[in-house]
Structure 1
Amino acid sequence: MLEIRELNKVYRGSGRLVEAIGSVTFDVAAGELVCVVGPSGCGKTTLLRCVAGLLPAGGGEVRVAGEPVTGPPPRMAVVFQEYGRSLFPWMTVRQNVELPLKEKRLPRARRAELVAGSLAAVGLSDAADAHPWQLSGGMQQRVAIARAVAYEPEVLLMDEPFAAVDAQTRADLEDLILRLWRDLEVTALFVTHDIDEAVYLGQRVIVLSSSPTGVMADIKIDLPRDRDQLATRSLPLFGELRGQVYRWIQQARGAR
C-alpha cells in the first residue's frame, strides 16, 4: 500500500544545504500498522510530511497503492501532534469533523452519517455541539482522530499524536488507535519518540538513524494482535523487543 524508495530531503539554511533525510527505503503492506522511531531531531516529522505530500521530496519516490505521491493523496489522512492547532476553535466538534467531507462534496446525509459514526467510535457523541476549547487535550485529540476516521482513509499517518497528553490519557488513546485500526482495516504509519508505545502499537518498528536519516533496523513485533496495557506490557517478549529497539536507537545516537 505504501512504498518509500530512497527518499531524500535537503533544506537550504544559513547559506548552506542541510541534508535532513539521507536515503530512506521501506514498505508498509495493506492493513499493516508500522511505527517509526529514532533519535530526537532525526527527521521523523519531515519524513512523514514527505510521505503525506505536504513537503516535496528532494529525491526518491513515495507511492500509495502504486500511484506516485506528488501532493496530498485523496485517500490519506494525517493526525498531527499539535491537535490544538489542527482544530478550528470557532467551529463545533461536529463542524470540525465534517469539514473535509464537504471538500469531498459528499451529500449532507452521508456527511452526517460519517460524522456520527466517527464521533461514536472515539466516544465523543455527547460532545458534538461543544467547541474544541471546551474540551480536554485528550478529547481534542479524539476529535482530530474522529475527523481522520470520518474521511475514510486507506492510509492513516500519525505524527507523535499523544506526545502532549498525560500518561493515562495516552494509554487510552493507544488502545483507541488499536481498536480503530482493527475495525477499519486501515494502513497506518505511526511516528513516535516513545519506544514502549512503538512496541505496543506496531506490527513492525522502523528505527531511523541520526540525520542525515536512513533506516537502521526494521524489527518485526511478534506480540499477539489483541493487546492489553497490563498483560501485553508484562510479557517477557515485550521487554525483549523494547530492549532491542532501545539498543538500535542508542547505536543511532552514537553514530552521529
Structure 2
Amino acid sequence: MELKRRTTTSSEPVLEDGHLGDFGKRYTLGKQIGKGSQGVVHLCHDRESGACKAVKMLDRRNKTAWATYKREVELSQATTGKNIASVMEEFVDAERCYVIMEKFEGHLRKALKWVAKENGDEAAGLDAYSLSNVVRQVLSAILHLHTCGVVHRDVKAHNLLIDRYDLRDSKCRIVLSDFGLARRLEPGRFLCAQVGTRKYWAPELYEKKYWHVVDVFAVGVLMFLAASNMYPYQVGHADWASYTTFWKVNI
C-alpha cells in the first residue's frame, strides 16, 4: 500500500496504530473529541515531542468526504490568519485522510454555557466587554476570509474554537474552523446551494442567490446568541416565510 504525507505551514474504540499508516508512525491516536457528518476528531500525540494536537479523520472512500478534505486543506492553507484554524500537517492512505490541527479546549457554544453556569444564571449571556472581545475576533476571521475571496457559509458557535472556556478572560483566543462548505467567490458572482446551519441562515440563502453577506448575517445571529443565550429564530417555525418577508420589507 502506498502512503503519502504532505507537511504544511471517546466513546468509540481507538484504532490500532498499525492500521494508521504514516500518520500512526508520527502520532499516537487518543480519544474522540468530536464528530461531524463526514468525519471524526480525535486527540493525537506527537511520538517525538509528546505535543498534543487534534486530528480530523475522514473516509477517503467516501467521495463527498474526499472532496471536503481537499477543499478544507486547500482553503485553510490559502487563508492562514490569526483567527483562522490552520492545518499543520496532512496524511493520506488508502482508507483515510488525516488533517492535523492545533488542539483547542472546545467550541464557543460550550464556552457560552460554561460562563453562564459560572455566573449562576444559565439563561444569561456575556457581559458587554466579553461580547465585544468575541465579536471582534470573529469579525477579524470573517474579514480575512472575505479579503481572500472566500465565503465560509457555515459560521456558527460550534465552528468557532476557543483556547479556554472562560470567555471573560481578555486573552481568550477564538478561531474559525471547518472549511468543508467554504467556497471561493469572485466579486459580482453568486452562490445558490442551500447549505450550512439553518439557525444562522440569512434571507438570501432562502432566495438561493447569495454572496459573502451570509457570513456577516451569521455573525449577527451569533451576537444575539452570545448576548442572550438563545437564538433569534426557532428553526422549524411555521412562519419562516414571514421571516424572509420581514427582512425584504424592513431592511
TM bucket by the smaller chain? Answer: under 0.3
**Which structure has the bigger radius of gyration?**
2
Question: Which structure exhibits the higher relative contact order, with contacts defined as CA atoms closer than 8 Å and separated by 6 or more residues?
Answer: 1
TM-score (norm. length: structure 2)? 0.26
